[in-house]
Amino acid sequence: MMQRILTAAMMALLVCGVTTAATINVPADYATIQEAIDAASNGDEIRKLLEGDTVQYSPFCGSPLQSSDWQRVKDLVDRGAYQLRGDTGEIVEVTIAWHVLEEWAANRAVDQWELDHYLELANEIWAPTGIQFAAHPVTDRIINPNWFEDIPNVDDFRTVRRLENALNIYWAAPESMGGLCGISAFTFSTLDTIAISPECMGWWDVDGVFCHEVGHWFDLFHTHEAYNGNECVERTNCLEAGDLLCDTPADFGLSFESCVDPYTCELLSHCADNPGPCQSDGVYTPDTENYMAYTAVPCMHEFTPDGIDRMRATAVNLRTAYLNTNLHHPCPSDTNWDYTTNVDDLLAIIEGYGQDCSGCNADVDGDGVIGVGDILSVIAAFGPCFECLSESDCDDGDPYTFDRCLFGECSYEPMRADCCIQGTCVTLIPPSVCESAGGVSVFENTACSWACGRGDTVATAQIADLGRNPFTNTYAMASDEPVDALMCKDTDLDWIDLVDVWMKFNPPADGTVIVSLCSEGSFDTSLVLYQGPEDPSPGELMQIACNGDAVDPIGCQPGYSEVSAPVIDGDGWLYIRVGSQSGAYGLGVVTVDFAE
């Protein structure tokens, strides 16, 4: 989510979910915001330049009504879908399926305690509607380092491992949705999921954003919705324009902190004189604390009574497939909700045996009496309610599968990775295939083209400059160039099938080259120098120096290597071969000094 950026004297009013839109400037194009609204098409961006203001504005919500949507809304209104007829008022429950984007296991968009907070918030805010929420006990962790930085297509993100007949809410990383605070779905939308950023316009308290998007899921529209015309300030057309709720004041589009003080939630003076669109109207007096307004993020505090009724009607008339599905607790026999049917549940039934208690936990078979049928049901269902509650429950012992716990069921996805085979990068093949071909699999989001070809062979030796040259041998393999250990027999060279990395240096003149692998925190190394042509054929390299362990000065890792050797300009390139002792992998530095 784009933060508040102090860059220019600008305020902007932006209809949410902009993809392709025109920009209308106030007062350059139109004298007032209202004139600009009257001239704009849905999705256009309206910018109001005010001297001294310093907020650069970004998109907020990805849930505007489109032209095709309005006819669907009209049909629902005509059918009475938003009216409460014959509703018993009983509590209905919706299962929330949490999905959290992670860069890696310790770096995630939101933590579990935050999810618990949002669940508690939802139950508090929606209590007047008779709608309550329960979270599935398994939170879906979506590990994708690339998406953690930038999600190219938010709709792709918010369909990953969707749980049927649940309210699926996807938490993205800050900034990863390209400036979008959230995107939701109406009952008539193609998708039925929500995606939210944990940061919105510089604010890290996004309770209001959460309620805003869930409000959309129950067919609440923006208070400034203008697709079917602007709502009159006198509300004479409140059933045909705006958000279709008559207890919501007409709203010209508050544009967040451009028009609302985030600390007092009061309308700023330069936005307080916008005249209404109808002949008898006075000035707009929008509700600056409505969850569905584009008010300042900290000011989203309330739904109106008509909004509460709309959400209840939407739930019982249009979201019936999501109600009381019990996806978060599929075991009636689990009387104490520990997700396992066991002796404790049997004891609970025995304790209440013979009691009439329709709807109580111990009435497993639902006949209204705790009896033999309940005991038999518990015995028949003995064991876990879910196959898994975490990834650790799904370990199949196969190192080449991703073991996942997806909402109570184990899933084993074949692992694919890039493969380095003698300096050649082969993308996205099973690691078993890579290793059987003599390659090394590249994981951890390392670019294959970078890991391969960085000096794994003589042919791919990277050019070394004077000074420090960093390297990694993480994906390197052993090469078969011969080594004459007798040349440095007293230095513990011990070169037998060592994983190695190659560099090459072109001496500028006759002189002495000093190559050191001293780098505090690096690994135990061995070092061999060769001389030969720029593109040598097998057997053309001549070994000129080697070293196993140099004397350990302060600031170098134990077992580092260092050599010096005379070179003659014109005799070819100097090839530097770095080996790792004891199978060590990691980062290192080759330092090249030259003296004539």
Report the alpha-carbon distance of residue 579 to residue 481 in Å, rounded.
Answer: 12
| Residues across the chain | 596
Running DSSP on this structure, what letter comes out for residue 189?
S
Tokens describing residue 412: 């084993």
- Residue carrying structure tokens 């584009």: 294
Q: Are 342 and 382 in contact (CB under 8 A)?
A: yes
Determine the Cα–Cα distance for residues 474 and 459; give it in Å rounded to an integer: 18
pLDDT computed for residue 166 by the predictor = 94
Burial code (b: 16+ CB inside 10 Å, e: under 16) for 138-149 equals bbbbbbbeebbe
- Report the distance separating Cα 169 and Cα 484, nearest Å: 63
Total Cβ atoms within 10 A of residue 359:
7
Q: What is the DSSP letter of 420?
A: E
CA gap 547, 528 in Å, rounded: 7
Task: Give the C-alpha separation, 59 to 185, whole Å.
Answer: 17
Report the half-sphere exposure of 470 (CA within 13 A, side-chain side): 5
Q: Which two tokens stand for residue 49?
A: 């330049």
Q: Check whether the bond before 27 is cis (ω within 30° of 0).
A: yes
Residue 97 vs residues 326, 518, 559, 596: alpha-carbon distances, Å: 12, 52, 53, 69
pLDDT of residue 49: 37
pTM value is: 0.62
Give me the tens of pLDDT residue by residue for the chain, a chain 596 residues long: 222 222 222 222 222 332 234 555 555 566 554 565 566 554 444 444 333 222 223 356 666 677 678 888 888 888 899 998 888 889 999 999 999 998 766 678 888 899 999 999 999 999 999 999 999 988 888 888 888 888 988 999 999 999 999 999 999 988 888 878 899 999 998 899 999 999 887 788 889 999 999 999 999 999 988 877 888 988 888 888 888 999 999 988 887 888 899 999 999 988 888 888 888 888 888 999 999 999 988 999 999 999 999 999 999 999 999 998 888 887 888 888 788 899 998 998 898 888 888 778 888 888 888 889 989 989 998 888 888 887 788 888 887 777 878 888 888 877 767 777 766 677 667 777 787 777 777 664 444 554 565 677 888 888 899 998 878 777 677 888 999 999 998 888 888 888 899 999 999 999 999 999 998 778 889 999 999 999 998 889 999 999 999 877 678 888 899 999 998 877 889 999 999 887 777 778 899 999 98
Element containing residue 451 per DSSP (H, E): helix 448-451
Q: What are the backbone angles phi and psi of residue 28, rounded to the nearest 5°?
A: -60, -45
Neighbouring CB atoms inside 10 A of 226's CB total 24
